[in-house]
Structure 1
Amino acid sequence: MKKILMVLTSVSEIEDTKEATGYNVGEAAHPWKVFKDSGHFVDFASIQGGQPPHDPVDTEDPIQVAFTQDEATRAGLYNTARVDVIDPQQYDAVFLVGGHGTMWDFPDSEGLQKLVASIYNSGGVVGAVCHGPAGLLNVELENGIHLVNGRRVAAFTNDEEVAAGKDKVIPFSLADRLEGLGATHVFADVFEEMVVVDERLVTGQNPASAAGVAKEMEKLLAEVIHQEKAEEQHESEALRAEKDAEKNAKKAAAEDAEH
């Protein structure tokens, strides 16, 4: 059982058009269900803290409905912690939820950059979907190299921005920015699922990829759990062998004393 932090945007409207925005509910709900069904703990944080804004809920999607009605989730979203006060050592993985709002507040959040870098540097898993990878752009690892440099990543494509009617209002092209940092942008057709795993970094292209990102993260976390159990068993066997050796040594000493 692991602890996962889901990070959400605090931006409630697109700068130029004043159109309402926020985190994409489906991109939060479907990964949340994967993590919860696997028995992991899920916490929420946002860039500014408090109650983060969100896009409309798809009431035809039972997972989104369950997400918005779950009491623990509602409580967690009512007053999220700011990313810059989060202790990264408390988490085994971080998941960056998408939504157009992330394009404005994820890239320049030093708190988010430090959080992601710390979790990855300590052996944790980092996931992001759709516009969530905007939060990876300025993340530098302890070796001074950008997290995305030299990696295969998925994110919302330029064609999808055009299809969504947002290509003229976004502050930059996420796909182009990722490639400019040395990443290889891997993509499928518009709004088709695409999930990419590169070591402990898992990224997805669009809302259809959200659950897939969580599932791949779950596989990585399961490997960690398996390794931890194997190490615990090895330590237990070593301790048992040590105790048995001490017991046998005492028995042998007692027998020698009798003779």
Structure 2
Amino acid sequence: MKTFHALAASLALILAAGSAHAGHVLVVLSDADQLELKHGKTFATGFYLNELMQPVKLLLDAGHQVSFATPLGRAPTLDRGSIDPMYFGGDAAALRTHQTLLEKLALTSPETSPVMSLARVEQLGYDRFDAVYVPGGHAPMQDLLDSPALGRLLSDFHSKNKTTALVCHGPIALLSTLPQAHQFSTRLAQTGKASAPPDWIYAGYQVTVISNQEETIAKPQLKGGEMKFYPQTALEQAGARYRSNTQPWSSNVVTDRELITGQNPASAVDVAKELLQRLK
């Protein structure tokens, strides 16, 4: 039954594409529904509604095909804290529209989700996809940062100069391309410092990600917990050149070669617009 619904959902997305020149975008999400914090604490999380659905809706409205994957092929989890009109410019109707689309796609339903595993994506072949998009929420900090399967996908895209877009906590996924990604993140969590090979594929790239300042402002969300490290620090220590907004929580998009990165939830629409330009 799950296979039938997954195929039906995929067919619906293909039919939505409509255009002979439509692009095919792979959206990669986390399998995680919680983030491990310091001192054995955890924080319930997932993907942010606007960071996923605003770009997905814009892509579908423009006639592109969208497929979804997680490292293990599990239905991803919606961060309940992101169900808030403030992430949609205070527009409650826009919030409902994007919630309705999420429900229609059935992404979070364990029985009917069309989500593939990254192993399945690799079997199908990376060449069928024109771009990859990774939304945020804290969940990518749990598994996308050191997923070997994601590292292979992003490395392939990098080698072919194919558009790679990420927003908020999503850019932490770039670390998955490090030769020893898990060891890098472990050292950073334990000591606050880690080094990456100088020939890391994204070394010297200008990128953005949720800033240390914004993480500090948002720290009360963790209910007394503390993250093992911040993504800005991780990307800087890996060798990326970090660019931030001076105004927290305002949109900031940085493009460098094939990479499009957005700093925070407010950046999701602008990242999607840049992605749409690349797909023309």
**TM-score surpassing 0.5?**
yes
Question: 1:179 is matched with which residue: 236, 252, 267?
Answer: 236
Evaluate the alpha carbon distance shift between residue 83 and residue 169 of structure 1 in structure 2; reply closer, same or farther with a 3 A threshold.
farther
Partner of 1:138: 176
Runs of 4+ in structure 1 deviating by more than 4 angstroms, as ranges, are 71-77
1:58 maps to which of 84, 91, 94: 84
Give 2:143's aligned amino acid: D
- Letter paired with 2:104: D
Let me know the Cα RMSD of the aligned residues: 2.3
Letter in 2 for 1:220: R
Aligned length: 220
* Equivalent residue number for residue 28 of structure 2: 7
> After alignment, is 196-205 or 53-62 more displaced?
53-62
User: Is 1:84 aligned to 2:114, yes or no?
Assistant: no
Cα deviation, 1:197-236, whole Å, max 9, x if unaligned, reads: 11110000001101111111111121xxxxxxxxxxxxxx
Mark the CA change 1:145 to 1:67 in structure 2 (over 3 Å): closer, same or farther. Answer: farther
* Distance (whole Å) between structure 2 residues aligned to residue 149 and residue 122 of structure 1: 17
Amino acid at match of 1:134: I
Residue 161 of structure 2 aligns to a residue whose secondary structure is coil
Question: Residue 25 in 1 paired to residue 49 in 2?
Answer: yes
* Offset at residue 29 of structure 1 (A): 0.5
1:162 is the counterpart of 2:197: no
Tell me: CA distance 1:63–1:198, structure 2 relative to 1, closer, same or farther (3 Å).
farther
User: Partner residue of 2:188?
Assistant: none
Structure 2: state its 5+ residue gaps. Answer: 1-21, 86-91, 180-197
Q: Distance in 2 between matches of 1:180 and 1:221?
A: 31
Instruction: Pick the aligned partner of 2:157 from 119, 123, 145.
Output: 119
Task: Note the C-alpha offset of 1:69.
Answer: 3.2
Matches within 5 A, 1:204-223: 204-222=262-280
Aligned-pair distance for 1:193?
0.6
What is the CA–CA distance in structure 1 between the aligned matches of 2:161 and 2:150, rounded to whole Å? 17
Contact conserved, 2:34 with 2:142, CA < 8 A, in 1?
A: no
**TM-score under structure 1 normalisation?**
0.78
Report the alpha carbon displacement of residue 75 of structure 1 after superposing the two structures with TM.
7.8
C-alpha displacement at 1:72, in angstroms? 7.0
Extract unaligned runs of 5+ from structure 1: 223-259
Q: What displacement does 1:65 show?
A: 1.9
Paired residue type of 1:89: D
Equivalent residue number for residue 68 of structure 2:
44
> TM (normalized to structure 2)?
0.72
> Over residues 74-119 of structure 1, what are the superposed CA-to-partner deviations in whole Å (9 max), with x where a residue is unaligned?
7897141111331312201000111101101011100001111112
- Return the alpha-carbon distance in structure 2 between the equivalents of residues 29 and 66 of structure 1: 10
For residues 39 and 140 of structure 1, do their structure 2 counterparts lie closer, same or farther at Cα, with a shift above 3 Å needed? farther
Query: Percent of pairs identical after alignment?
Result: 31
Alpha-carbon offset, residue 64 of structure 1:
2.4
Q: Report the Cα offset of residue 73 of structure 1.
A: 5.8
